[in-house]
């Protein structure tokens, strides 16, 4: 059973999650489009409509277990003007978009806290959504940069490895995915991810406080 605080946290996580995964997948699509591949455009994935990117089971897993997935944007590297640059750019686009969205959410959080009195349910609700967006985007960015298939970080790393080794990794990608799930389930990589997330959050706070102090 959900307690009152747990239920509120769950509710405010939904819009933050939808925004985070939508921006992430849309960024992949737009980066691919910029690099010459129009597959995502023809598939209707250059959209900020969450329903076009949502994988229901993956989203529920992310809400309940803090580990999940969205519907991957279709990419065809054959259309890239430069294959290596295209794959690296597209792979980086998702995590970078989450980093930027998390920073914007943190800046809005600071500005909102400064100007809006926290004496109403609406203001508390908006504040909670922004806070969830900060943590969720920072976590999503860091998690996706792990160099284990099928995450974005692995695609970046593989482009710097010999083609024969790349082929082997992609050949056994399903097994790497299983290893990743086991590592997450066992909590093995959680402490390392938490450290990186802490530094990202500190950077967010520094920039947000600086902006508020300069312009407010």
Query: Active-site residue numbers?
Result: 25
Q: Which has the closest alpha carbon to 101: 169, 11, 32, 18?
A: 18
63: Cβ contacts below 8 Å, ≥ 6 apart? 10, 13, 14, 17
Whole-angstrom distance, CA of residue 132 vs CA of residue 198 = 15
Whole-angstrom distance, CA of residue 111 vs CA of residue 114 = 5
111: Cβ contacts below 8 Å, ≥ 6 apart? 212, 216
149 alpha carbon, distance to own chain's centre: 16
Neighbour count for residue 22 (Cβ, 10 Å)? 21
Structure tokens at 141: 């960015």
């Amino acid at each position: 059973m959900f307690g009152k605080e747990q239920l509120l946290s769950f509710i405010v996580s939904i819009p933050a999650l939808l925004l985070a995964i939508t921006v992430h997948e849309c960024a992949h699509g737009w980066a691919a489009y910029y690099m010459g591949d129009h597959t995502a455009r023809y598939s209707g994935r250059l959209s900020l409509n969450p329903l076009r990117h949502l994988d229901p089971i993956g989203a529920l897993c992310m809400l309940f277990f803090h580990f999940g997935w969205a519907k991957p944007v279709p990419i065809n590297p054959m259309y890239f003007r430069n294959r290596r640059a295209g794959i690296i750019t597209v792979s980086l686009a998702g995590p970078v978009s989450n980093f930027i969205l998390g920073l914007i959410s943190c800046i809005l959080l600071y500005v909102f806290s400064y100007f809006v009195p926290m004496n109403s349910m609406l203001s508390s609700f908006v504040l909670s959504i922004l806070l969830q967006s900060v943590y969720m985007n920072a976590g999503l960015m860091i998690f996706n940069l792990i160099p284990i298939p099928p995450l974005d970080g692995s695609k970046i790393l593989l482009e710097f490895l010999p083609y024969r080794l790349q082929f082997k990794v992609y050949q056994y990608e399903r097994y790497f995915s299983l290893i990743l799930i086991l590592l997450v389930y066992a909590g093995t990589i959680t402490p390392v991810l938490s450290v990186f997330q802490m530094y990202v959050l500190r950077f967010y706070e520094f920039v947000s406080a600086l902006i508020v102090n300069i312009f407010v």
